[in-house]
Amino acid sequence: MACCDKSETDLWTVPLIALNVSVRKKLELYLNPRNMVAADWMVVAETMGFNYLEIQNYEATNNPTRKVLEGWQARSTDASVGKLLSVLTEVERKDIVEDLRPLIDEDVRKYCESLKKKSEPPVQVNDIDSCVPRDRVGLTLEDDPDGAPELFDAFICYCQSDFEFVHEMIQQLEQTDYKLKLCVFDRDVLPGSCVWTITSELIERRCKRMVVVISDEYLDSDACDFQTKFALSLCPGARNKRLIPVIYKSMAKPFPSILRFLTICDYTRPCTQAWFWVRLAKALSQP
């Protein structure tokens, strides 16, 4: 099976088990809520071939999307990654396909590599396997693979055109009495690894919070869009104040709707500029 290519045809040969927990959780966040304007888990289940009684039974569970995927995987011989993408496209949820495709491709790559390793005969050597577990691999400049991973107070989500303001943020928050530790991708992350994998690891496990630098350019950045949505998926309803949106210059485009329910730290208002860095520092210093 030549599934290590990421073409659409090959994905139909990759079973659903290739998708890890992270991707499945994001699917649940998209599909579990009942949606009046877009297809939810019920429409997906119907398209997969589940009948009315089966869907009613799934509706009584706490996580219907998870149950549908498990049931489909268990009973259907065509429950593949390609078929899942086809179903989502058929029910007009291309937004899910576009958002999750990088993560799905990464899972498929890992699954194919795992199959390849299992099919290869073991190499007879006396040396201990040099493979390093994921959580012990150095991701940042200060990481010690043999010790504890480097941790940060906040991950800074920004686009390249806003880096001058990010540099000011470093000066105001790291090089003052606040002594906060910020994760700035272009400064702190070692080159060479998959951007999506590193970003997810840093946001979920290494950083207490995420500062989102909002601008017109931010709205056009695929990387910023992924980072923001990933962080939101970790804290539905913003219960733990994980995301802090920051505006530092006027915008011509509308403010992103997915962040409208969060309190904004606004640098553009002259009357509050004197308190801007104090407010942001206090927010990032919370446990």
User: Do residue 158 and residue 281 come from a single domain?
Assistant: yes
Domain extent, residue 95, equals 11-116
**pLDDT under 70 in the chain at which residues?**
1-9, 76, 118-137, 145, 236-241
Is 139 domain-assigned?
no
Which CATH number characterizes residue 272's domain?
A: 3.40.50.10140
CATH number where 55 lies: 1.10.533.10
**Residues 100-130: pLDDT tens digits?**
999 999 888 888 887 777 665 555 444 433 3
| Residue 262 included in any domain | yes
Query: 267 and 157 in one domain?
Result: yes
Residues 175 and 228 in one domain: yes
Domain count across the chain: 2
Q: Are residues 157 and 234 in the same domain?
A: yes
Burial code of 264-280, b = ≥16 C-beta within 10 A, e = fewer? bbbbeeeeeeeebbeeb
Phi then psi for residue 189, to 5 deg, are: -90, 135
Q: How many C-beta atoms lie closer than 10 Å to residue 179's C-beta? A: 11
142-159 per-position pLDDT tens digit: 887 677 888 999 999 999
Write the pLDDT tens digit of every residue in 168-199.
999 999 999 999 999 999 999 988 878 888 99
Residue 50 lies in a domain: yes
Looking up tokens 């939810």 gives: 40
Parallel, antiparallel, or unpaired for β 152-157 and 182-183? Answer: parallel
Q: Residue 223's CB: how many other CB atoms inside 10 A?
A: 16
Q: Are 158 and 208 part of one and the same domain? A: yes
